[in-house]
Structure 1
Amino acid sequence: MKFHHKLLLTCIMSGALPLVPLSAGAQGAVASPAVIAKATSPDAEPFITDGEGRTLYTLAGADGGDKAACDADCMKDWTPYVSDGRPLAKMVLPGMISTVDNDGVQQVTYRENPLYLFNGDSKAGDTSGQGVNDMWYMVSVLGEPALPIAEVADAGPVRPEVMIHGQEVYATTCAQCHGAQGQGAFGTKLEGFERLANGTSLVRTVLLGLNSMPALGPVLDDEQVAAVTTYVRNSWGNEFGAVSPEQVEAAR
């Protein structure tokens, strides 16, 4: 499936996502405040689930067409995720979470995206709703469609001068939280960290921030981001290849 990420992100950020009414017999209501939690998978960026680990999705037209085209037949497998009281956050930013009235119940939203459960997911961790009808997508912890793991395009060999530059950027910008040797401190341990293999996700995390990590896109240029991501991807037992400034520019 071809994922038109920039176009889809534009759709989401426009605030034009539809609110599909509750169908008769929908089982989305809960007896206590809903929970939005962070989940990880080797196959996707960090994404959000409910408090029981069930994957949450949002409706968005990948082709830029009418996002309300999911009719009653299309909606039969989807249940709005609703909350009794203010939703709770678990390892995600509380400010991303809100609710909107949907037929008299409060449907949970994440970065203004209405959230749904997929009836085809039978247990926690299932993600079979991803990409259904080119309309339904998991939601990343950044409030965007959670992209499948995809390596950045080949940026060529890891050059020594880039590693030196990246080490300098890391020492002044990252080491205080992640440790001088990637051993972790206030931030994630980067030594032997397999998720660094997802270069696209790493670049976007550096640019946009994540949880307590600030967005560095406004303070680092493309060459600096490319250098520091190349450095952490190829230090402390990591061997995941280079990132180029062009790839950073494309991710902004």
Structure 2
Amino acid sequence: MKYLGSALAIAAPLLAIPAQAQSSAKDTNTPTIVAQGSAPKVSAFITDGNGRTLYTLGDDKESKANCDAACMQHWQPYLTTTRPVARLVLPGLIDTIEHNGKRQVTYRGNPLYLFDGDTKPGDMNGKDFSSAAYMVSVLGEIEKPLPAMADAGPVLAEVMEHGKEVFASTCAMCHGAQGQGAFGTKLAGFDRLANTPDLLRTVVLGLNSMPAQGPLLSDDQIAAVTTYVRNSWGNEFGAVSVEQVKAAR
């Protein structure tokens, strides 16, 4: 459960290169960058070096780009003439494929595009423009809409007490006894805890410097501690059930 907050926010190993990405890669001396983006209540996602959101398209098969001329009226393939560089993402997931005689950047096999309706860092208009356009997480997961999770019910006092005990023994050293942050990110008032599936994936599977807790904690313990952090220190995000934890494994 260590480094929970930072795990939701960043992924590594990391390479930080102070240069701007160019989707057309006009200057062969300028590296094409795949970087990390973040926004409230959204899993850490990938962007170009200028902070513009990168997408993959549902019409593409893994490692094969199928965006035709009509598609490219709105979707610009993310091209490169150099080896792409990772900035706060996983370098091993970055590769390229051939697309109309050029090299298109991929992430975990997903061909990447920029959307012409995104004009500034943080814009994510592409996912609303087309039901077949998806953002990509720093783990290379396609961020398709998740099915609604069953209501976990009310926040029970006994669950909060159990979660407090698990937090004290497993998480407090990094995140502070009051969620104020230490080596790990401050959890007090942390909006991303509202994203139940993302929180559970991080706790169960681990991310970056946070080890996977799935093999170490029971479903009951994970449900309790996530309920606790989601409803302490000013957070009011509701309960997490054992059934939700099981679904995340």
What is the TM-score normalised by the length of structure 1? 0.76
Query: Is the aligned partner of 1:107 residue 2:108?
Result: no
Give aligned pairs, total: 224
| Cα distance between partner residues in 2 of 1:46 and 1:83 | 23
Q: 1:228 to 1:102 in 2, by over 3 A?
A: same
> Among 47, 51, 54, which residue is 1:53 paired with?
51
Query: Is the aligned partner of 1:176 residue 2:210?
Result: no
Q: 1:71-82 counterparts in 2 under 5 A? A: 71-82=68-79
Structure 2, unmatched stretches of 5+, are 1-22
| Cα distance between partner residues in 2 of 1:39 and 1:57 | 12
1:91 aligned partner: 88
8 Å Cα contact 2:227/2:239 also seen in 1: yes
1:226 aligned partner: 223
Q: 1:55-204 counterparts in 2 under 5 A? A: 55-60=53-58, 71-130=68-127, 132-146=129-143, 152-204=149-201
Please tell me the root mean square deviation across aligned C-alpha atoms, in Å: 2.9
Deviation at 1:187, TM superposition (A): 1.7
Find the residue that maps to 1:72 and give its secondary structure.
coil
| Cα distance between partner residues in 1 of 2:213 and 2:92 | 19
8 Å Cα contact 2:24/2:78 also seen in 1: yes
What is the TM-score normalised by the length of structure 2? 0.77
Greater relative contact order (CA < 8 Å, ≥ 6 in sequence): 2
Instruction: Show CA shifts across 1:208-248 (max 9, x none).
Output: 32332223233333222211110111122212111001112
Deviation at 1:154, TM superposition (A): 2.5
1:33 aligned partner: 31
| Cα distance between partner residues in 2 of 1:174 and 1:197 | 18
| Cα distance between partner residues in 2 of 1:102 and 1:172 | 52
Structure 1, unmatched stretches of 5+, are 1-26
| Cα distance between partner residues in 2 of 1:238 and 1:151 | 21
Deviation at 1:84, TM superposition (A): 3.6
1:210 aligned partner: 207
Q: 1:181 to 1:95 in 2, by over 3 A?
A: farther
Deviation at 1:199, TM superposition (A): 1.9
8 Å Cα contact 2:41/2:195 also seen in 1: no
Q: 1:163 to 1:80 in 2, by over 3 A?
A: same
Deviation at 1:30, TM superposition (A): 4.7
8 Å Cα contact 1:100/1:109 also seen in 2: yes
